[in-house]
Each structure stands twice: as structure tokens, then as C-alpha cells.
Homo-oligomer: A and B are copies of this chain.
């Protein structure tokens, strides 16, 4: 498999060209812990707005109040979402920083009912297997009907869109294929955080879902290249009007903050 990936990447590298956004927006090297050249990029001036402390304080409060309202939703309305909105959300995610500005993410936007159904089946089968295998020899007792409810994933097909977040795990560096799983996972997860903020900002809902062990099967359905792995799945739409969410609490800020 490693050799297959190497070959694939080799042929891809030959066709690779520099990708430049028409908006000339930018980002830059964040980590240096890749076995790459120290590249001195051309530096340009950058300006941020000057805001007084009172307004900064108020803005930080308003943004918190908005994000605080976010909850992971598993019941979606069938109401459609304009594709242009999805595109804006993904553009926003794409403004995220990444190791060496490699931008290792791909967002697969699935609106096809048949593909959503296939993915849901794979996820549910995998989930059922996980529970069954865990139950063996484990000390917990859960009745079967409850388990069945647990492994069901109706929201995967109910939401008008299913976003599948992929990240590169192999990359060509100095003509050598290297595994860059660790940092690409962090970078792509940070992009997902910015995406969640953007989703909340427009009143849409999602639930961050793990592919568990179903990643490779879903990759095959989507024909993703072998240097990519599925990090997360995000069903996306408007929450249904009668949505229920678990009554769970967030830690108070004093419990997650230490002052030095």
C-alpha cells in the first residue's frame, strides 16, 4: 500500500501547479517542524483595525453569546440550504492556518441521496460491530433495543448536505513521500473549528461525527485518493423544529483556565 501511494503521488506531483486564489488572500507557514526547506517568503505589510478596549470587550461578549448557543443536532429539517451558503462556509474554513500553509483539507459535499444512504449504511454497520465486539467480555448491560437506537444514524441521510472532511496523510516533500498525519490532523481539525463557528453564525446546525472504522469504505465510495484519510463527517442543515439535544453542561471558564 505504501508503494502504491508513493507511485500515485509521484505521478500527481508532476501535474501539480501553484494554486493561487483570485482574491489574493493569504496565510503562511505556521509550524516549521516539517522536513522542508526554510523558505523566506516575500513579506507584505498587514493592517488590523484599531478598536478601543470597550468595543473589543463588547464584541468578545457578543461572539461568545452566539457560539454558546451552538448545540450538536441529530434531527434535521428537510429545508434546503443554498449551495452558495455551503460554499461560503467552506471558504471560511479554508482561511484556517496550517502547517507550512499546506492546506491539507478537502471537503466533500454530498447532496446525492444514494451516496448518503450508502454512507449511512456503512456507518451503522460499523457502529453495530463496535458495540457487539465491545459487549463481548465487557461488564455492561444494555438491552438490544437501546443498542439499536444507539447505532442508528438517521441524521446522515436526513440533512440536505453531508460534509465529509478529508485530510492528507501522505505528501511529497523533496520528492519523497512522507507521512504527515499528525500535523495535518491538527490543522484540519482547526479548520473544522472555524467551520463550526461559521455554521453557527448562519443559524445552521451540524454534529461532528467520527467515521470510526468506516473511513476506508467511505473513501472508496467517494473515490478519494489514497493519500487522503477521512477525519470527520458533518451532516449540515437546519435543525428540525422539534429537535431534542442532550442536557449536558459546559465547564465554567475557571475550570479550563489557569493563570500564570
- Measured CB to CB, the residues of A under 8 A from B are 19-33, 35, 37-38, 40-51, 53, 56-57, 59-61, 63-64, 67-73, 81-82, 84-85, 87-92, 94-97, 99, 101, 103, 105-112, 115, 127, 130-131, 134, 140, 142, 146-147, 150, 183, 185-187, 189-198, 201-205, 207-210, 212, 222, 231-232, 238-239, 241-253, 255-260
Q: Is the CB of B150 within 8 A of A210?
A: no
Asked whether, in the complex, the Cβ of B150 is within 8 Å of the Cβ of A64, the reply is no
List residues of chain B with CB within 8 A of the CB of A73. Answer: 46
Q: Known A-B contacts: A22-B252, A30-B210. Give 18 more (CB < 8 A).
A: A20-B249, A29-B248, A31-B209, A35-B134, A38-B140, A38-B150, A41-B247, A44-B244, A44-B246, A46-B73, A50-B203, A60-B92, A63-B88, A63-B198, A64-B91, A101-B246, A109-B258, A111-B259
Chain B residue at smallest Cβ distance from A112: B260
Copy total for this chain: 2
Contacts of A19 in B (CB 8 A): 249, 251-252, 255
From known contacts A38-B142, A89-B60, A249-B20, infer whether A238 and B26 are also in contact, taking CB-CB under 8 Å: no
Whether the Cβ atoms of B260 and A59 lie closer than 8 Å is no
- On chain B, the residues within 8 Å of A111 by CB distance are 259-260
Determine the distance from Cα of A172 to Cα of B33 in the docked complex, in whole angstroms.
32
Complex A-B: 23 CB contacts under 8 Å: A21-B251, A21-B252, A23-B68, A26-B245, A26-B248, A38-B131, A38-B146, A44-B244, A45-B245, A48-B238, A50-B203, A51-B202, A57-B88, A60-B88, A64-B91, A87-B253, A96-B193, A106-B256, A107-B257, A107-B258, A108-B258, A190-B196, A190-B208
> Whose C-beta in chain B lies nearest to the C-beta of A28?
B246
Q: Which of B82, B103, B209, B260 contacts A256 (CB 8 A)?
A: B103
6 nearest CB pairs, A to B: A193-B193, A189-B189, A41-B246, A60-B88, A28-B246, A197-B197
Given A60-B85, A150-B38, A250 and B106 contact (CB-CB distance below 8 Å): no
A90 and B190 contact, CB distance less than 8 A: no
Bound form: Cα–Cα A244–B46 in Å: 6
**Closest-CB distance, A229 to chain B (whole angstroms):** 12
* Nearest chain B CB to A186 CB, angstrom units: 5
Q: Contact at B250–A60, with CB atoms within 8 Å?
A: no
If A45-B244, A189-B190, A244-B44 touch, whether A202 touches B249 (CB-CB below 8 Å) is no
